[in-house]
């Protein structure tokens, strides 16, 4: 039996960096990948989707040529070339991760499915490996709801969407969350008819209502059809089409399209990991239960990334790596609860979010001040002819620290990080008002936005 200082299962957004840290520290590491190096972000998530977002944005701007002063002709998207571009960008990262890992001294790269045999041993390709520490970075996959007809129709997920090199005539997207909305705008801009079927009363239901309403307007203005309060209850073939059966109070009980994308959430890849043999506890959805330093109930086993339910983003997975590496290698006792929630929705314009929503602030019962400023009054947005959206920020009335923000507008994914850094510094928002910012930018308006703080209603 081969012994290592550490075994890492999965090459998502935490595993490879952790492998490099351990290997650099002179420890022996085995890292195991059963499919594509780099995991979801690199192969079927962030990188390919944001590459598609860029193609869709280019097509959108080209169609608006007249507004910017050039003749635009008939803009048609060549899906084979769009896919080739996406594959090239994604492939570059995928190869980069593999080459990096294979080039690490002290690191053994194994390809195959890893399964626990005990709390200290893992089996890969019939070989038993043993380690003092085992890290699980197995990520997740698209959830597939058990609706009648699911086995009879050829549905798509974020993974199979990556193989598409043609334009679906009418794409029905089940799920109005972050993944669903990004694909909706991408494919609408490529030229498909798109219908979103969302069971809740709002898109991106975790956001404040004004945010989700504004995103809805943006998408509808581009021709995306949106069915809210519409629960997908069945799928069926109708000649060459697919029918999505809907339980709803308003509108037709069925949407007919040519393709169906399921974007109804994620399931952790933990069911085939032999966690029971290791004695590692999971919740009822299969997420591994961890404490504030990402330890499981079994000593020396740490799950990182999406599978521990402490975040479902590339940056949360990478931050998990940083926390574990700091605790184990640097004597720096970092905790998950020290991090501030932040993420972006990559529609155009994007939504950059940090901290609490208004609803969460309200629920907390604390005295707060809030401000909201339309992008139409931001000169940079005006110059770019991208004036949709707004910026809103909420601060604690006593400490003057920022509690949360939503920047829905051009550059929102970048601008929000200024607020995030001030939050980490635990500095009052007034710091931003004393700083000199670059003109013309969206960020230069933050002092103006903050000058309009009012008691939170
Ligand atoms: C469509 C889409 C778009 C997204 N866009 C963004 C975005 O813009 N920004 C953002 O921050 N996040 C985004 N995300 C989320 C992001 O991709 C994930 O949170 C991120 O990849 C972190 O995943 P991870 O590190 O947990 O593992 P993953 O990246 O999922 O990797 C897990 C790896 O483990 C391997 N594996 C699993 N089981 C085993 C086993 N038993 N043995 C060996 N190997 C195994 C898998 O093959 C995989 O390679 C997106 C997700 C999706 C689906």
* 3-13 tens-digit pLDDT: 999 999 999 99
* Residue nearest ligand 1's atom 51 by CA: 45
Task: Answer yes or no: is the C-beta of 218 below 6 A from any ligand 1 atom.
Answer: no
pLDDT score at 27:
98
How many A from CA of 196 to the centre of ligand 1?
24
Task: Answer yes or no: is the C-beta of 40 below 6 A from any ligand 1 atom.
Answer: yes
Task: Answer yes or no: is the C-beta of 49 below 6 A from any ligand 1 atom.
Answer: yes
Query: In the structure encoding, which two tokens stand for residue 135, read together?
Result: 């890290």
- Per cent of the chain over pLDDT 70 is 100
pLDDT tens digit string along 299-353? 999 999 999 999 999 999 999 999 999 999 999 999 999 999 999 999 999 999 9
Mean pLDDT in residue range 175-186 = 98
How many A from CA of 85 to the centre of ligand 1?
21
In testing the pocket of ligand 1, which one of 9, 11, 12, 109 has its CB within 8 Å of the most ligand atoms? 12
CB-CB contact of 45 with 142 (8 Å): no
CA distance 101 to 422: 35
Closest ligand 1 atom, residue 38 Cα: 49
* Residue nearest ligand 1's atom 17 by CA: 41
pLDDT score at 227:
98
Task: Answer yes or no: is the C-beta of 34 below 6 A from any ligand 1 atom.
Answer: yes
How many A from CA of 309 to the centre of ligand 1?
13
pLDDT score at 140:
98
* Residue nearest ligand 1's atom 21 by CA: 41
Output the DSSP codes for 187-225.
HHHHT-EEEEE-SSSSSSTTS-HHHHHHHHHHHHHTT-E
CB-CB contact of 14 with 136 (8 Å): no
pLDDT tens digit string along 34-73? 999 999 999 999 999 999 999 999 999 999 999 999 998 8
Q: Is the pLDDT at 457 greater than 90, yes or no?
A: no
How many A from CA of 140 to the centre of ligand 1?
6
Task: Answer yes or no: is the C-beta of 16 below 6 A from any ligand 1 atom.
Answer: no
Q: Quote the mean pLDDT of the chain.
A: 97
How many A from CA of 317 to the centre of ligand 1?
9
Q: Is the pLDDT at 112 greater than 90, yes or no?
A: yes
CA distance 91 to 33: 16
Between the CA of residue 250 and those of 154, 198, 205, 219, what are the distances in Å? 27, 13, 19, 20
pLDDT tens digit string along 419-432? 999 999 999 999 99
Closest ligand 1 atom, residue 307 Cα: 26
Q: Is the pLDDT at 195 greater than 90, yes or no?
A: yes
* Residue nearest ligand 1's atom 15 by CA: 313
CA distance 81 to 102: 31
- Per cent of the chain over pLDDT 90 is 99
pLDDT score at 65:
96
* Residue nearest ligand 1's atom 5 by CA: 46
Residue with tokens 């957004």: 13
Closest ligand 1 atom, residue 140 Cα: 30
How many A from CA of 39 to the centre of ligand 1?
5
How many A from CA of 13 to the centre of ligand 1?
7
Identify which of 307, 353, 336 has the alpha carbon closest to the alpha carbon of residue 178: 353
* Residue nearest ligand 1's atom 38 by CA: 138
CA distance 447 to 437: 9
The reported pTM is: 0.98
CA dihedral 35, 36, 38, 43 (to 10 degrees): -120
pLDDT tens digit string along 382-423? 999 999 999 999 999 999 999 999 999 999 999 999 999 999
Task: Answer yes or no: is the C-beta of 114 below 6 A from any ligand 1 atom.
Answer: yes
pLDDT score at 72:
82
């Amino acid at each position: 039996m081969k012994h290592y200082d550490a075994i890492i299962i999965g090459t998502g957004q935490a595993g490879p960096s952790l492998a490099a840290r351990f290997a650099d520290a002179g420890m022996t590491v085995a890292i195991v990948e059963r499919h594509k190096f780099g995991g979801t972000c690199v192969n079927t998530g962030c990188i390919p989707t944001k590459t598609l977002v860029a193609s869709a944005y280019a097509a959108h701007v080209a169609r608006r040529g007249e507004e910017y002063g050039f003749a635009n002709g008939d803009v048609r998207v060549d899906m084979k070339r769009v896919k080739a571009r996406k594959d090239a960008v994604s492939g570059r990262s995928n190869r980069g991760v593999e080459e990096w890992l294979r080039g690490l001294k002290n690191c053994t790269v194994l390809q195959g499915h890893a399964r626990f045999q005990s709390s200290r041993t893992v089996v890969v390709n019939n070989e038993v490996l043993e380690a003092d520490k085992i890290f699980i970075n197995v990520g997740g996959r698209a959830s597939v709801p058990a609706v009648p007809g699911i086995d009879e129709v050829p549905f798509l997920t974020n993974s199979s969407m990556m193989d598409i090199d043609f334009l679906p005539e009418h794409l029905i997207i089940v799920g109005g969350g972050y993944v669903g909305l990004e694909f909706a705008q991408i494919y609408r801009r490529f030229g498909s008819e798109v219908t979103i079927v969302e069971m809740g009363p709002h898109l991106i239901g975790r956001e404040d209502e004004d945010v989700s309403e504004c995103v809805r307007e943006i998408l509808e203005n581009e021709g995306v059809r949106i069915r809210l309060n519409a629960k997908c209850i069945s799928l069926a073939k109708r000649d060459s089409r697919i029918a999505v059966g809907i339980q709803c109070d308003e509108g037709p009980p069925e949407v007919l399209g040519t393709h169906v994308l399921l974007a109804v959430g994620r399931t952790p890849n933990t069911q085939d990991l032999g966690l029971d043999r290791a004695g590692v506890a999971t919740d009822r959805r299969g997420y591994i239960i961890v404490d504030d330093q990402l330890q499981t109930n079994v000593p020396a086993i740490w799950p990182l990334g999406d599978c521990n339910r402490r975040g479902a983003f590339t940056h949360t997975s990478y931050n998990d790596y940083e926390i574990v590496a700091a605790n184990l290698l640097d004597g720096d006792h970092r905790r998950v609860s020290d991090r501030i929630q932040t993420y972006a929705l990559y529609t155009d314009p994007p939504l950059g979010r940090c901290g609490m929503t208004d609803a969460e602030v309200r629920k907390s019962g604390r005295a707060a001040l809030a401000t909201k400023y339309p992008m139409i009054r931001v000169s940079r947005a005006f110059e770019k002819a991208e004036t949709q959206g707004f910026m809103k920020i909420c601060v604690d009335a006593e400490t003057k620290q920022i509690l949360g923000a939503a920047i829905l507008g051009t550059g929102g994914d970048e601008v929000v990080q200024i607020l995030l850094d001030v939050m980490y510094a635990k500095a009052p928002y007034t710091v931003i008002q004393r700083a000199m910012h670059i003109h013309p930018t969206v960020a230069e308006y933050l002092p103006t936005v903050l000058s309009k703080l009012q008691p939170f209603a």
